[in-house]
């Protein structure tokens, strides 16, 4: 067990209940992403561990992380057995996201699912990757709204280079909003921000298992 404590302001029960929630933050706009603790939670769970926060207002906070004892050999718990949710054929995913923190979060999450991941901060960089990548790219995960070329335009250009490329869009807006504004077509695959680890894993796996018509 690893325990870390501070003597800060502490958290109220309602804030404490959302502490590990991706993109939840009590900081001012532009001062926090809400990805820090959610990534820690993901790392601990990926390692087969458990994490717990104890906090009270004006009393500070203690975070305790529990991990399985190592006996010098790899051990596999029964709960870990079964079909993997991640990589089945060394699949490669291209993540296109202009927000640096969110891009890092998505890349780390997908790598923890055993995918090979490359990333780009905008559409121009993404097209460069697609054009010059020696290996295939199995899926492009791209934001819809980005500076310059948007996600739909990127997908159109990318498929001129790689016609069979699968594309999963991301947006903080609702499907109705982005379709109504002409940002994406009504039949596209879209995942809603904030993106949970469970939803990301399921949607990516579903997309990769689909055959393009």
Q: Quick: pLDDT tens for 60-79.
A: 999 999 888 765 544 433 33
Residue 54's domain spans which residues? 2-66
Question: Is 78 among the domain residues?
Answer: no
Question: Same structural domain for residues 97 and 61?
Answer: no
Q: Quick: pLDDT tens for 90-102.
A: 899 999 998 888 8
Question: Same structural domain for residues 46 and 149?
Answer: no
**Whether residue 27 has pLDDT greater than 70:** yes
Question: Same structural domain for residues 102 and 202?
Answer: yes
Question: Same structural domain for residues 178 and 144?
Answer: yes
Tell which wins on pLDDT, 157 or 196.
157
CATH number of the domain to which 98 belongs:
3.40.50.2300
Question: Is 86 among the domain residues?
Answer: no
Give the residue from 4, 2, 1, 41 showing the smallest Cα distance to 19. Answer: 41
Average pLDDT, the chain: 79
Written as six digits, the tokens of 2 are: 């690893």
CATH number of the domain to which 54 belongs:
3.30.565.10
Q: How many domains does the chain have?
A: 2
Q: Quick: pLDDT tens for 136-181.
A: 889 999 988 888 888 889 999 999 999 999 999 988 765 554 444 5
DSSP assignments along 52-94, one per residue: EEEEETTTEEEEEEE-PPP-SS----GGG-S--SS-SS--EEE
């Amino acid at each position: 067990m690893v325990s870390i404590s501070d003597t800060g302001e502490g958290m109220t029960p309602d804030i404490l209940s959302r502490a590990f929630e991706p993109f939840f933050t009590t900081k001012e706009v532009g001062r926090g992403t809400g990805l820090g603790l959610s990534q820690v939670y993901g790392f601990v769970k990926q390692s087969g561990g458990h994490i717990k926060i104890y906090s009270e207002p004006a009393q500070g906070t203690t975070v305790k992380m529990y991990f399985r004892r190592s006996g010098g050999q790899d051990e596999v718990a029964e709960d870990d057995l079964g079909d993997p949710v991640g990589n089945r054929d060394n699949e490669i995913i291209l993540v296109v996201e202009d927000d640096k923190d969110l891009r890092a979060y998505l890349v780390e999450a997908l790598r923890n699912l055993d995918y090979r991941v490359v990333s780009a901060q905008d559409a121009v960089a993404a097209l460069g990757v697609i054009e010059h990548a020696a290996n295939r790219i199995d899926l492009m995960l791209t934001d819809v709204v980005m500076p310059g070329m948007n996600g739909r335009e990127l997908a159109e250009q990318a498929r001129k280079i790689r016609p069979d490329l699968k594309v999963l869009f991301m947006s903080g807006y609702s499907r109705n909003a982005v379709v109504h504004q002409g940002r994406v077509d009504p039949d596209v695959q879209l995942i809603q921000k904030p993106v949970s680890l469970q939803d990301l894993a399921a949607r990516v796996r579903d997309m990769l298992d689909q055959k393009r018509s």
